[in-house]
Structure 1
Amino acid sequence: MRWRTVQEFRHQDRTMLVRRPEGEGDGPAFVLVHGIGVSARYFTRLARALAPHGTVHAVELPGFGAAPRPPEPLTIEEHAATLDAWVREAGLEQPVVVGHSMGVQVVLEAALQDPRIWSAVVAVGGVVDPAARTATQQALRLAHDMLLEPPLANWAVLTDYLRTGPRWYLRTLPHMLGYRTEETLPRLEVPLLVMRGARDPIASAAWVEHMRRLAPDARLVEVQGAAHVAMYSRPEVVAGQVLAHARAAAGREPA
């Protein structure tokens, strides 16, 4: 799949990119937010599956993918503020936001900072499991995950890691490890779908169940046969769940 357009959005001293796929249909807006070290590229399969049902916006956070690198790595809160600012400027009407890995932290924080602009949140392979808060523990889980992913998924992730570079990755990592996802979830005001690949060693079964219990309005889905990058290995399954969550959120009575 090719990206149809690439939009550049500047907020304060940072620049975010927004990629749009070909073949979009009418329907809700979906915003896809990647994890640490990677780019929008590993969302191409999910974007293709969602595009017939609405508009798809796959972002590249400042400093990742082709987005220009700011002077310093952004905190999770700063990434979220940039995402919210773009949604308001773009005039998107109650989009559904889908985060993966560190992107889950960004989308949860974005919904916390401005819950009025989002209709629903989807958290795929959320981090950081409090049982593995250190860089070493996360590295071991990542290495385990790479043994479980399809070769093309590993290729997409590893080539993005090379583009990001170890220095920028390691400077960003403390922001991810330091963000307390478990403290954000109880304050979430929009409905949450927690998703996990059934073989995911990074987002453990116990952790995602804890995420579901912490959020006021949440459900949990496991994607069979998938590991951490579930939206790459099982895009149709993940898209189906995202669409069902969007429909349920659209029919929800306002608070």
Structure 2
Amino acid sequence: MEQRTVAGLFTRVFGPPPHAGAPSVVLVHGLGLSGRYFAPLARRLAANGVTVLVPDLPGSARSRVCVRRMPDVVRTAEALARWHGQLVRGPSLVVANSVGCQVAAALAARHPGLAHRLVLLGPALTPGVSAWRHGVRLLADAWREPPALIGLAAADYLLTGPVRFAVSLRHALRDAAMAFESHLARVDVPTLVVRGAGDTVVSAAWARRATRLLPDGRAVEMTDAAHAAHYSTPDAVAELIEKSTTGADA
């Protein structure tokens, strides 16, 4: 793995370097976290010769100093578009988790040439659900995740800081209420929506609705996973991603 800072964003690069002619995958993390919890999936994808790019989003974790104020979802997507333009020629496969799915949807809707396919893992936040209810759901999900992930997430939350986390949550709630659904409806590339059967953050009903909103959406439920399926079952998620790019049945 190589580490570098590109367009102000701390970036992990797995597999061949960008511009080497290999297909590229971008992994977009969730609220207040870093790209570290994508490492198992990134290594698995890179083992097949894919360039995997994992940024810390602006204001989060090791990219916290690149902005003075936490950007909203659209501004985060714009920063990600600038970052992508400096790293990759042509579109990438974009894989996102949780609130990162809101960023990915905004990116694909506003910059249709940057993604040729999306994979949304546990697309949060759910429109119409309060911050309190989301918090309760997240705490319930924590008991279903690997203990190592809880420690990693706690360290990332501390690095990002409580104030920035709270501001990011407010931005994400506003985006969920006002823009998330419209962004999904404007995504014009094939999109796979993945939900862990044990996910208490994203309901089955919302996952189905998100899939219906997408012009070319398909849904998969994973039986042995919760909200962070990419961390607990990276091989299975990688297989889903690889099948989605070849058109094979998952």
Instruction: Compute the TM-score of the two structures, normalised by the length of structure 1.
Output: 0.90
How far off is 1:128 after superposition?
1.5
> Which residue does 1:185 correspond to in 2?
184
Aligned partner of 2:189: which letter?
Answer: V
Unpaired runs of 5+ in structure 1? 250-255
> Residues 33-44 of structure 1: matches in 2 within 5 Å?
33-44=28-39
How far off is 1:117 after superposition?
2.1
| Distance (Å, rounded) in 2 between the aligned partners of 1:73 and 1:8 | 18
Unpaired runs of 5+ in structure 2? none
How well do the aligned residues superpose, as a CA RMSD in angstroms? 1.8
How far off is 1:94 after superposition?
1.9
Q: Give yes or no for the alignment of 1:166 onto 2:166.
A: no
Residue-by-residue CA offset, 1:26-59 (whole Å, 9 max, x unaligned): 7421000100111011001000110022110011
Aligned partner of 1:81: which letter?
Answer: E
Instruction: Answer yes or no: is the 8 Å Cα contact 1:26–1:52 preserved in 2.
Output: no
Instruction: Answer yes or no: is the 8 Å Cα contact 1:112–1:189 preserved in 2.
Output: yes
Instruction: Answer yes or no: is the 8 Å Cα contact 1:119–1:191 preserved in 2.
Output: yes
> Which residue does 1:18 correspond to in 2?
11
| Distance (Å, rounded) in 2 between the aligned partners of 1:205 and 1:149 | 18
The number of residues matched between the two structures is 241
Instruction: Answer yes or no: is the 8 Å Cα contact 2:74–2:106 preserved in 1.
Output: yes
> Which residue does 1:253 correspond to in 2?
none
Instruction: Answer yes or no: is the 8 Å Cα contact 1:31–1:95 preserved in 2.
Output: yes
> Which residue does 2:105 correspond to in 1?
108
How far off is 1:91 after superposition?
3.1
Instruction: Answer yes or no: is the 8 Å Cα contact 1:46–1:238 preserved in 2.
Output: yes
Instruction: Answer yes or no: is the 8 Å Cα contact 2:37–2:149 preserved in 1.
Output: yes
> Which residue does 1:91 correspond to in 2?
88
Q: Secondary structure at the match of 1:130?
A: coil
| Distance (Å, rounded) in 2 between the aligned partners of 1:114 and 1:23 | 25
> Which residue does 2:227 correspond to in 1?
228
Which of 119, 123, 126 is equivalent to 2:116? Answer: 119
> Residues 55-94 of structure 1: matches in 2 within 5 Å?
55-69=51-65, 70-94=67-91
Instruction: Answer yes or no: is the 8 Å Cα contact 1:121–1:193 preserved in 2.
Output: yes
Instruction: Answer yes or no: is the 8 Å Cα contact 1:29–1:92 preserved in 2.
Output: no
> Which residue does 2:27 correspond to in 1?
32
For residues 38 and 145 of structure 1, do their structure 2 counterparts lie closer, same or farther at Cα, with a shift above 3 Å needed?
same
Residue-by-residue CA offset, 1:180-202 (whole Å, 9 max, x unaligned): 32221111111111011110011
Instruction: Answer yes or no: is the 8 Å Cα contact 1:46–1:235 preserved in 2.
Output: yes
Aligned partner of 1:185: which letter?
Answer: L
For residues 162 and 57 of structure 1, do their structure 2 counterparts lie closer, same or farther at Cα, with a shift above 3 Å needed?
same
| Distance (Å, rounded) in 2 between the aligned partners of 1:221 and 1:26 | 30
Q: Secondary structure at the match of 1:68?
A: helix
Identity of aligned residues (%): 35
Instruction: Compute the TM-score of the two structures, normalised by the length of structure 2.
Output: 0.91
| Distance (Å, rounded) in 2 between the aligned partners of 1:199 and 1:138 | 15
